[in-house]
Amino acid sequence: METKHQKIEALDEFLSLQWGNFFSSETAKNIIENLDKIDKRIYALYMLQVYHWSSQSARSLGIAGANQHNKDIRFMMHCFEHAEEETGHEIMALNDVKAVGVPINDESDIPPPLAETEVLIAYVKHLATCKKPIRMLGYDYWTEKPYEHIGPFVRMTGNSFNLSEKQMTFYISHEEIDKKHGKDIERVLVQLCKTEEDWEDITEVAKTTLNLTFEMIGGIVKEYEKLLNGEKSKYEILNKIIN
């Protein structure tokens, strides 16, 4: 059995606690308890947010790699290699949205990101340009290793909405791809984090970006409620989904 670095183990334990807190929150419990009463619009809403932040991920990694405050070539190489591997993954998310029946024909049909999604994107870009860009690894780490936490919910959602694998390509494809990425980031973290302060920075960024992601999910629920109530929404195109 592989032995993990004690700081990686501590980070994993921290992330498990954060995910546990989220899934015990009222927002998550309401979604889970009412899956049989909601429809594919909420899935499409979520995947559109994934499309928007995923479309910025490779760019932010590239910016972090080019950040001249960083002097470690290993971090540069990680950023550029990971950016290359992430490039274009947002297309999978967009294809999943189309596959559930959202009539998106060109870019002008894509609704803009929710405000909460924009905040997450902006914070990650800030990390890429800050004086200590390796902090960004705190975000990269958990985004490559969420499946043990979200896997049961993703499968539950797919079953509830009768989603096929062709409608969930982003998650199905990424689960295998990200096993490698997770190991890569573990290695880079152990190489680059030399002080207690370094690990504290990584943990703080992981917590902040997770919280911003949870706020994004709350924003998705609010926007879905607008659609349910017939209120004005930039996501009215989702009403054209035929269940």
CATH number at residue 187: 1.20.910.10
CB of 107 within 8 A of CB of 211?
no
Residue 82, in any domain of the structure? yes
pLDDT of 46 over the 60 cut: yes
Residue 5, in any domain of the structure? no
When computed from its CA atoms, the radius of gyration of the chain, rounded to whole angstroms, is 18
Q: What is the DSSP letter of 38?
A: -
Mean pLDDT of 188-200: 95
Residue 146, in any domain of the structure? yes
**CA nearest neighbour of 64 among 125, 143, 22, 117:** 125
CB of 22 within 8 A of CB of 28?
yes
Alpha carbons 54 and 37: distance in angstroms, whole number = 29
Residue 204, in any domain of the structure? yes
Residue 7, in any domain of the structure? no
Number of domains in the chain: 1
Place of tokens 């990680």: 78
Enclosing domain of residue 80? 39-240
Q: What is the dihedral of CA 25, 31, 34, 40, to 10 degrees?
A: 180
Alpha carbons 206 and 156: distance in angstroms, whole number = 26
Residue 16, in any domain of the structure? no
Q: What is the DSSP letter of 7?
A: H
Mean pLDDT of 201-210: 97
Residue 19, in any domain of the structure? no
Place of tokens 């199905």: 172
The whole-model pTM stands at 0.92
In which band, very low, low, confident or very high, does the pLDDT at 86 lie, cut at 50, 70 and 90? confident
The least confident of 41-45, 95-99, 185-189 is 185-189
Residue 56, in any domain of the structure? yes
Give SS3 for 194: coil
Mean pLDDT of 44-61: 95
Q: Please, what's the b/e burial string for 200-229 (b: 16 or more CB within 10 A of its CB; e: otherwise)?
A: ebbbebbbbbbebbbbbbbbbbebbeebee
